[in-house]
Every structure is written in C-alpha cells, then in structure tokens.
Structure 1
Amino acid sequence: MSYFLTYTVYVLIVSVLMGLSTWKLFKKMGYNPLFAFVPFYNYYIIQKETEQPKWWVALAYLPIVGPIMMTVFHMALMRKFGKTSFMEKLLTVILPFIYMAFVNYSKDAEVENADDLYLTEEEKNAKKKDSFLGSITFAVVFATIIHVFFTQPFGIPTGSMERTLLVGDFLFVNKMNYGFRMPMRPVAIPFLQGTILDTGEKGNPKDDPKSYAEGIKLPYLRLPGWEKPKRNDIVVFNYPDDSVHVAIDRKDPYVKRLVAQPGDVLEFKAGKLFINGKPEVRMGDAQVQHAYEVVTSSQLDVPALYDIYGFLPVQEHQRGSGFYYRFQGLTDQTAKEIGALPQVVTMTEAIEPQGKKDISYYPDMQKSIEAQEMVWSKKVNTSSTIFPNNKNWNVDWYGPLRIPQKGDVLQLTAQNLPDYEKLIVKHEANTLASKNGKIMINGRETSTYTVKYDYYMMVGDNRDASLDARFFGYVPETHIVGKPMFTWLSVEGLFSDAGSTYQADGKKIRWDRMFKAANTGDLHKTSYWWLAALLLILFFGWDYFAKLFRKKDKEI
C-alpha cells in the first residue's frame, strides 16, 4: 500500500473516532454534528470556537507533530465545556477519544461562558497558566517541525570518521538535500530517536521502552530533493543491522563517507581503496587514517602527543626494555611525524594478510564464567563479520564488489546468493529460500531478481576502526537521513575509548571546530560564527526592543 493511501486510512480512522466522541459537543456549539467526522474541518471548528491560531489546523494530521496538535485542540475543546481540572486534562491527554466520548454522552456537558468579565480570580489565574502552557506548546511544536522535517542534531560518540569528524562533534544534518524521507512511525515522542531510556547494560535493549508506536506504521516515501547522494559525500543514515528497532527511521544513526555509489565496483588492496579499478580520489577534507604498529626503545610521551594532535586512541605494552604501541588510526602526515621521533625503532602500517577472513563470534557466557576468561562460542556474530559472509575478505583486502542499483536484474546462483540475501529479504521485504539447487522468492522459483532501490557503500575515514559497509553491507536509499551541514558544538573527552590505554585529559570545548561547515569537501572549512552571532543578536535584540516599545506604549 502506498504512503498516501495508508496515511489516508489513518486520517479516516482518527476522524471517525473524533466524530464518535464529539458529535454532540459540536451540536451544542451550534454546528451540524456530522462536521465532527470531517477531517481538518472538525479541528477548524474547534480552532474557531476556542480562538486558536488558524495555521495550527494544518498541523493536526501531520506525522509526529499531528498528535501534539490534536492534543492541544482536544484540551481546548474540553476547556470550552468546563473540563479544566488537572485530572480532566490528564485524561484528555492519555485517553483522548475515551474521555471526550464520556463528556460527549454525558447529560450535563454545556458550553461555558468564556467572557473574562465573569471569571473569578482563580479562573483568571488558570487562564494565565493556560496561556503560559500554550507558549511552551508552541515552542515544542515549532522545534518539532524543524527537527522532523528540516534539520536534526546528531552527536558522534565513536572515532570511525576521525580525523575528518571527531569524537564529540555535534552536527546539524540537512534532511532536505537528498529529498525529505517522510516519517515511517508517525506517532512518536518528539526529539527521541528510538528509546525513551536505557534500562542498563544487563538488560536486553529490545526490552527498552520505545519512543514511538510500533503498530502505527507508514511505508517508505522520499520527497524530491535537489541532489542525489554522490561519491565522497559525508552522509548520515540509519544503521541497517540495528536489531533493536524494526522501523527504518528509528534505527541508530551512523555517519560515514559515501565511497561507492550505485553501479560502482569497490575494492580494497592492502588497505588502499579502489573504485572502478582506479585509486580513490579524496576530497580536501578527507583525513583518512590507518592503524599503525610502533616499536620504541623507550616510552613515548603520549599525553604530549595529545597536546599536539588531539586525542589519539592507542594501546601501549611494555616489551623487555622497549615498548609496543598500536595506534588505532593516524593520517599519513601524523604517521610521518611520529615515525621521526628519536625513540621509534620501527613503524609499520597494520595490514591484515590477504585471504584472512574478518569473522566475529558471540561469547559463551557460561563457559566464560567457569573459566574466568572470555570463551567464544561457534555462533557467528554477523553484525561484526565481513560482508558477504561467504568471502575470505577483511578490511584491508576486500572485493571487488559491485554496488547494486535500481533496475539491476541480478542473476542469482548458489554462489552469489549471500551477496544479495540481505538486499532481497531485509531491505526489499521478500521471502527467500534455497533448496535442492532451486531459488525461491516469494514462493516462486526464479534465477533472477530486479532491484527496487539504489544502494551505496558507506565507509569511515578511520579505515581500520570503523564498523561500516564492509561489515553490514550495502546501504539502501531508504536508510539515508541526510547530509551534515555544520558542527555546532565539539567537546574533547566527552566519550571515552575503552580500547585505548590513555584517555583524553578531561573535557574541553574545541572552539576552533564550532560552527564550521562539515561537508564542503574543502580542508579549510567555512565558519558560520557570524550566523550564530547574528541569530543571538536578533533573538535577544528583538526581545529588548519589544519590551522597550511596550514600555513606551504604556507611557503614552
């Protein structure tokens, strides 16, 4: 079922519930009771009778924002009939159609006089409180509209994009560039991604309370944008292997670089990326890193290196009279400078052997407890095992792999089925079975499959410390959120790195990164400090002059 058809069904269901629970109230306000069943017009009448802003009506049926606005209108309608106590307001919020139906079918429901001349002091104070709450509601609704439809803030807790983007960077992401993806779970708590709270490390994440209604769902739809995702873009997308959330738009957000677009052939050779048989062309802002192993004659002053380069995750081990270091990721220039230190004996880029498969297993917790050390089971952890899982590839020797594009007709065989199984089943919602040499899709034998979406390969600039498409596979267009615009805040030391011997020395703001463009492709980023300053001046200046003019009006 299409997005708009499904959306229309939900609108009609809500309108019927609205009509059944308020038609008598509409009649008592002097309107045809059938108007209570008419989408949008029913809320327009409530707006008119309760003197709410007219443009609020247009928001009443929008995803995410709509439930908030409906609640505002429901409370205004109940206030019209004298239901103003805390309990009555609470029931209107949590059981709207049930409580409104109770009022609707009660014999004593009457329209109350709203003339301020007849209000008691207590009622006037209550009206002031309602006005204040209305201002708060407006602020929440406005912020929700911006958050849902235009731009959304994201934080970076891991180092997969170091040093292009840093751990502790907070970005604003443009949702419009690639075309706005309509919400797929339209009833949700504003500003929360997937869960309301984390129940703790020992709890199952799937049991955490969700911030959205899973049962109310809409299919994928993307509105037209002004550009398509292209090679070398930094992109925010939903993590395809998130097993906690079924809803695509509620899966964890990841940020990586789009290194291969539909139709490209991707390959890694000794850690170097090749696209369509040619070495990658890096943008000016791409500070690609690789892991390095360093042997020294004496201990390195790692905190001093942090002062020069910023936080560099590193493991340190003493070996005899010397030391061994494994740096999680260094740029070519940083590696050259560290390699020139007098105590460095050897420095080599850490490259996995060709033909060695990157594979991960789940731990056997019972045996681990008995042995008092980690014991691994034989069950493969596919989320951190190389994709596709039938290839002897690793992060340094990977491919060649062609990226599917919309309209491709895949020739399916038993050998290449693992390449496309996730695409066919998970991303494009089909059933797939292979038995006795026969491939069955949706119960029918076939040897071909036509791809419905465009796919992309997203890889971190920190090549040896990135959980990316080399593990979770192709990223479908359905999962793309948007394009980072700028870093609005950057804090060093906000997130620790469990794999590093040393940690950042406290928390400090990186002032030089704030309000810097994040996706221009240039090494020297455009600064938007002037825009931030202008907005602050306008915000506080407007408030100052508004108060000044009000004061003059009173004096006159």
Structure 2
Amino acid sequence: MDYILKYAYYVLILSILMGISTWKLFKKMGLNPIFSFIPFFNYYLILKETKHPKWWCAMAYLPIVGPIMMTVFHLFLMKHFGKSSALQKLMTIFLPFIYMAIVNYSKDAEVYAEDDLYLTDAEKSEQKKETFLGSITFAIVFATIIHTFITQPFGIPTGSMERTLLVGDFLFVNKLNYGFRMPMRPLALPFLQGTIYDPQGDGNPKNDPKSYVDAVKLPYLRLPGWEKVKRNDIVVFNYPQDSVHTAIDRKDPYVKRCVAVAGDVVEMRAGKLFVNNKPEVILGDQEEQHKYIVKASSQIDIPSLYKNLEYLPVREIQTDGGYEYDFQGLTDKTAKIIKEIPQVLDIKQEILPKDSAMLSYKVNAERTAYTKTIDTTQSIFPINRKWNPDFYGPLRIPKKGDVVTLNQETLPEYRWIISEYEHNHLENKNGKIFINGKETNTYTIKQNYYWMMGDNRDASLDARFFGFVPEENIVGKPMFTWLSLQGVFSDKSSSYQAPFKIRWDRMFKATNTGEAHKTSYWWIAALILILFFGWEYFVKLFGKKQTEEEN
C-alpha cells in the first residue's frame, strides 16, 4: 500500500506539472484544457492528435521506462506546434516542463500543419532521420522493459561459483520466479546498475556519478511469484552490505547458492557444510571446491595442466625443497589427478584451525615466499565469534516472526537486521539496547533471511563474511547461460592467466536444474535470431512480389 501511495504521489506531481505547462496547447488543439491534468489520458490525447499509436500512453509512468516515453511524447507535442529545431528538441528533453510552459504561454503558439506533398527534400530527409531515431528509441524502450521487468543479463566476474558457474559465463536471470520486485529508484538510466563509469575518476565507485536519482524513491514491494527460494537454488541478490548505494535494488548484484533458508541452522565442520545437523546435499551440477596446497620436487607444467584440467594455481613459490603451489579451488576428483603428477610430493586441503582468525597471505617482492597474516578486510560474521570459514557456527537463519533475545553477546548477530534491513533506529548505550527510542531485550524479525555461499568454498566472499541476506534483496533465479567467454575477466591475484576462447559447449544451457548433464538449446536461440532478423526481409519480399502480381 505504501508503494502504491508513493507512486500515486509522483504521478500526481507530474500530472500537475504537465497540466500547468500545456493546458493552453490542449485548448488550441480543440481539446478541453482540463484533460491536460489527467494522467495517462493527457498523453493518450497527444498521441491521438499527433497520429501515433495511442496504447503507448500506458508506458508513460512506468519506472525507468516512463521518463523515456514522456520525453518522446513531449517531443511529439512540441513538433505538433512547429518546435522541432535542434535547440528546441534539447530544451524539450532537458527542461521539459519549463520549455513547454514557455511555448504554452506564448502568443504565437499554433498547431503546425504538416503536408507530405509540400515537404522540401531537406524536410523529407529530416523526417527519415526522425523515423530512424524513433526506431532506435523504441528498441531501447523495449529492451529496457524486458531488462527491468522480466529478465536481466548478468556476468560472472569472479570464481566464487567455479566450477558450477565459470568466470566469463553470462546468464539471463528470471525476475519473476520469486516474485517481481518493483523498482525503488524509478528515475534512472536504463541498463546501468548503480554507477556511471568515470574514466577520469580515482577508481573508487563511491566517487563515480550514480545512474539513478536517489531523491526520487519508492518503498519495497514484491509482487507474488510462483515459487519460494529453496535450498540449493542458485540465486542472484543485491549485496546486503554495499556501502556505496543505499537503494536496495541498486546495490551490487551477487550470485551464490542458497544453502539454507529461514529457520535452518548452518555449521561448517573442518570445511564441510552441515544444514540442520546433516551434511549438505550435493547436486549433480554442483562442483564443490576447496583450497589445496601442492608441494612439488620441480616446477609443474602449468600450461599443460590447464590444457587437461582447466585449473590454474593462484600462486607459485620456489622453496628450498622445490616448488609450492596454492590452488584456490580444486574438486576432490581433480585433487586426486594432480596428486598423481610424478613431481608432486604432497597435496593437502588447507583447513584453518578451529577458533582461529581468518587468514590471508602476503607474498614478498621476489615471489619466493609468503607469510600468513590475519585478514582484517574479511572479518567473519558476526564479528564477536571465534569462527573462521572452515569452522563456523552453528548459526540459525532468522525467520519472519522469530522473537530473538537481544544482549551484548547477540547484538552483533542482529545489528544489521534491526538497523539496516528492517530500518529501525538502534542505539547501544551504557550496556542497554534501544530500538526507536525504547529500551528492549527482544526483537521480532519482520522478513525471512537466507544463507548464500559459493561452491568454490575457499574463494568466496559469501554469507560467512557479510551475514544474512534479506528477502527484499533477492533479485531472481538464473535461467540459462547465453554466452561463455574464457579469459574475459583477468584475475589479478593469479600468477597465470587463462587464454581467451569462446566456450561453445556451455552456451544456451539451463542453470538451476540440479542435473550433471544439461541439454544445450543453442538451436532454439539460432532460430529466434533468424526469425527476428529475417522477418522484415521476408515481409518486404512478400510485399514486393504481391505488388508485381497486381501490376
């Protein structure tokens, strides 16, 4: 209800601005000037008068799409009154209600009568340009509608889901399965997630210009879907602790596997995941990986290893006894194969000791040695527990309606839920906890939460570090891989880089099936492309033949 009221509020403001700046123009078109204040109907009449499809008015106030369509309608109206020079178009685009008001209240504003019979060659050329630009505009509008309301392309830039999803896989994400989340920043540039890349910037996304207007905001609203987020679903969600963007739908998108849902208890025991005290279920298409340290008597032929297994170490160090390799993620199967390499002396999964801090590695300038250090950049969640990624929990995932106990021990676990995800004012003063100004020792959870982890367990920034994922952060469910490019994203942490190639065998295969062997539907994609690009050709060819037969 809050969303609808806020949406109606914005529509009302825009309709008043539209009426104030165009009512005289409506009158000069022989229409009742009151109609200029009526949302949707005012644009319907403009489209009718300018001889454009009247159903386009339905898109006038859609989030993201609406501003584009309104601009198009304003240009139609101004052209109808003879205001179509380059400067006048720019004024209409960037100062719409101001410029239209100037035209509206001027004495010489009259309907401009066009007649194709009397158009000059220059005017006909300009008309062709406008037709072409109109086609481009509506192609952008159509793509924006699909991108915003139905499905969104998403690229995999990191290896947290290897080998289930590979770096360089490009997915289409279905936004409707779990229920479509209405846009919360309706005034935004299409296709951009959060920021506009600034080539002259300092590289900090906090300093890049935003792709949306943060002041124009709508509350969270999710429409009904046909399924709930389930255990083992691969899910795209907005990173909960994104410090750059306050808008939920503009936070960075992440893709992980939902290993536990609201009400479940998660625990890591020596690098193995347990859910509700049972070992996790490994699906057919899930290739779980872990970090291994490999010691060899001599240098391993890494290019040959990659050619056969498509695995690269992130680090190679020469030691007194030979060479040491750090493989960020190996499956049990590939670990056994590497163990059989003649010069390999030892291979061991690295498991952090219980009750130890999270570790990182610092390599010296000569790349001959590295030391272990406490990793302060990836503090474990919650920050007051002596857990690490291999020994973690048990931890219960909050469920809507849960009444949780608050004290100094449990507060770090629920702090973000109370203050950030459920938007309360939280204070912790003199050992006492205040929510919205009232002292309390309990809190009732308002929404469901999920636990997201990467299949590449030791190379994944996941829920063990950023905590619970709120239901309102869920974007959707990946449907299929439409493109897969090896080597498109460079891994700066690795001494080696994979060569560039197109992975044809991965393209147009469905995700989230749980099956080891997936069917490729590339032929359906090819058929759609042929129909899409060939339709106009066949229509023209048929029309040409029909004309010849009539003559």
SS at match of 1:122: helix
Alpha-carbon separation, structure 1, partners of 2:376 and 2:360: 6
Give 1:196 shift: 1.5
1:315 alignment partner in structure 2: 315
1:226 alignment partner in structure 2: 226
2:522 alignment partner in structure 1: 529
1:351 alignment partner in structure 2: 351
SS at match of 2:458: coil
Q: What RMSD, in angstroms, separates the aligned Cα atoms of the two structures? A: 2.0
Alpha-carbon separation, structure 1, partners of 2:418 and 2:44: 45
2:241 alignment partner in structure 1: 241
SS at match of 1:306: helix
Matched, 1:17 2:11: no
Give 1:497 shift: 1.2
Alpha-carbon separation, structure 1, partners of 2:399 and 2:520: 36
Give 1:114 shift: 2.2
Query: Contact (CA 8 Å) 2:63, 2:186: kept in 1 or not?
Result: yes
SS at match of 2:543: helix
Query: Contact (CA 8 Å) 1:359, 1:386: kept in 2 or not?
Result: no
2:533 alignment partner in structure 1: 540
Alpha-carbon separation, structure 2, partners of 1:74 and 1:480: 36
Q: Which moved more, 1:535-544 or 1:174-183?
A: 535-544
Q: Deviations over 1:229-258 (max 9, x none)?
A: 000000001111111111111111110000
Instruction: Quickly say closer, same or farther: Cα 1:130–1:479, change in 2 above 3 A.
Output: same
Alpha-carbon separation, structure 1, partners of 2:44 and 2:7: 20
SS at match of 2:97: helix
Among residues 457, 469, 474, which one is paired with 2:468 in the alignment?
A: 474
Alpha-carbon separation, structure 2, partners of 1:321 and 1:445: 62
2:152 alignment partner in structure 1: 152
State percent identity of aligned pairs: 68
Alpha-carbon separation, structure 2, partners of 1:321 and 1:406: 56
Give unmatched runs, 5+ long, in structure 2: 362-369
Matched, 1:518 2:476: no
Question: What is the correspondence of 1:325-336 to structure 2 with a 5 Å cutoff?
Answer: 325-336=325-336
1:371 alignment partner in structure 2: none
Query: Contact (CA 8 Å) 1:199, 1:208: kept in 2 or not?
Result: no
Matched, 1:401 2:399: no
Among residues 428, 435, 439, which one is paired with 2:422 in the alignment?
A: 428
Matched residue type, 1:408: D
Give 1:379 shift: 12
Give 1:200 shift: 5.8
Alpha-carbon separation, structure 2, partners of 1:460 and 1:196: 28
Query: Contact (CA 8 Å) 2:358, 2:374: kept in 1 or not?
Result: no
Q: Deviations over 1:276-329 (max 9, x none)?
A: 001001111110000001111111111111111224343111112411111000
Q: Deviations over 1:361-400 (max 9, x none)?
A: 9xxxxxxxxxxxx9xx99954xx21100001111101100
Query: Contact (CA 8 Å) 1:294, 1:348: kept in 2 or not?
Result: yes
SS at match of 1:258: strand
Matched residue type, 1:115: D
Question: What is the correspondence of 1:335-346 to structure 2 with a 5 Å cutoff?
Answer: 335-346=335-346
Q: Deviations over 1:34-71 (max 9, x none)?
A: 11111111111111011111221110011001111101
Matched, 1:551 2:544: yes
Give 1:209 shift: 1.1
Alpha-carbon separation, structure 2, partners of 1:311 and 1:241: 31
Question: What is the correspondence of 1:38-187 to structure 2 with a 5 Å cutoff?
Answer: 38-187=38-187
Give unmatched runs, 5+ long, in structure 1: 362-373
Alpha-carbon separation, structure 2, partners of 1:188 and 1:355: 46
Query: Contact (CA 8 Å) 2:313, 2:325: kept in 1 or not?
Result: no
Matched, 1:190 2:190: yes
Instruction: Quickly say closer, same or farther: Cα 1:200–1:359, change in 2 above 3 A.
Output: farther
Matched residue type, 1:515: F
Q: Deviations over 1:183-234 (max 9, x none)?
A: 0100111111111214467343212111111110111111000100000000
Query: Contact (CA 8 Å) 2:156, 2:168: kept in 1 or not?
Result: yes
Among residues 489, 508, 529, which one is paired with 2:501 in the alignment?
A: 508
Instruction: Quickly say closer, same or farther: Cα 1:390–1:428, change in 2 above 3 A.
Output: same
Count of aligned residue pairs for this structure pair = 541
Alpha-carbon separation, structure 2, partners of 1:56 and 1:349: 60
Instruction: Quickly say closer, same or farther: Cα 1:162–1:378, change in 2 above 3 A.
Output: closer
Matched, 1:489 2:518: no
Give 1:459 shift: 0.3
Matched residue type, 1:400: P
Q: Deviations over 1:448-481 (max 9, x none)?
A: 1111111001000000000011111000011111
Question: What is the correspondence of 1:178-327 to structure 2 with a 5 Å cutoff?
Answer: 178-199=178-199, 202-327=202-327
Instruction: Quickly say closer, same or farther: Cα 1:200–1:251, change in 2 above 3 A.
Output: farther
Alpha-carbon separation, structure 2, partners of 1:311 and 1:415: 42
Give 1:115 shift: 2.4
Matched residue type, 1:242: D
Query: Contact (CA 8 Å) 1:414, 1:437: kept in 2 or not?
Result: yes
Query: Contact (CA 8 Å) 1:312, 1:329: kept in 2 or not?
Result: no
Q: Deviations over 1:387-431 (max 9, x none)?
A: 000011111011000000111111111110100001111111111
SS at match of 2:45: helix
Instruction: Quickly say closer, same or farther: Cα 1:500–1:204, change in 2 above 3 A.
Output: closer
Alpha-carbon separation, structure 1, partners of 2:360 and 2:189: 36
Alpha-carbon separation, structure 1, partners of 2:55 and 2:521: 32
Report runs of 4+ in structure 1 exceeding 4 Å deviation.
Answer: 377-381
Alpha-carbon separation, structure 2, partners of 1:476 and 1:353: 30
Alpha-carbon separation, structure 2, partners of 1:379 and 1:151: 37
Q: TM-score, normalized by length of structure 1?
A: 0.94
Instruction: Quickly say closer, same or farther: Cα 1:252–1:549, change in 2 above 3 A.
Output: same
Q: Deviations over 1:61-92 (max 9, x none)?
A: 11001111101100000000001111111111
Give 1:124 shift: 2.2
Query: Contact (CA 8 Å) 2:44, 2:55: kept in 1 or not?
Result: no
SS at match of 1:464: helix
Alpha-carbon separation, structure 1, partners of 2:281 and 2:27: 69
Alpha-carbon separation, structure 1, partners of 2:18 and 2:201: 42
Instruction: Quickly say closer, same or farther: Cα 1:204–1:4, change in 2 above 3 A.
Output: same
Query: Contact (CA 8 Å) 2:359, 2:374: kept in 1 or not?
Result: no
Alpha-carbon separation, structure 2, partners of 1:262 and 1:378: 31
Q: Which moved more, 1:252-261 or 1:302-311?
A: 302-311
Alpha-carbon separation, structure 2, partners of 1:500 and 1:339: 21
Q: TM-score, normalized by length of structure 2?
A: 0.95
Alpha-carbon separation, structure 1, partners of 2:286 and 2:198: 34
Give 1:123 shift: 2.1
Instruction: Quickly say closer, same or farther: Cα 1:155–1:282, change in 2 above 3 A.
Output: same
Alpha-carbon separation, structure 2, partners of 1:213 and 1:71: 17
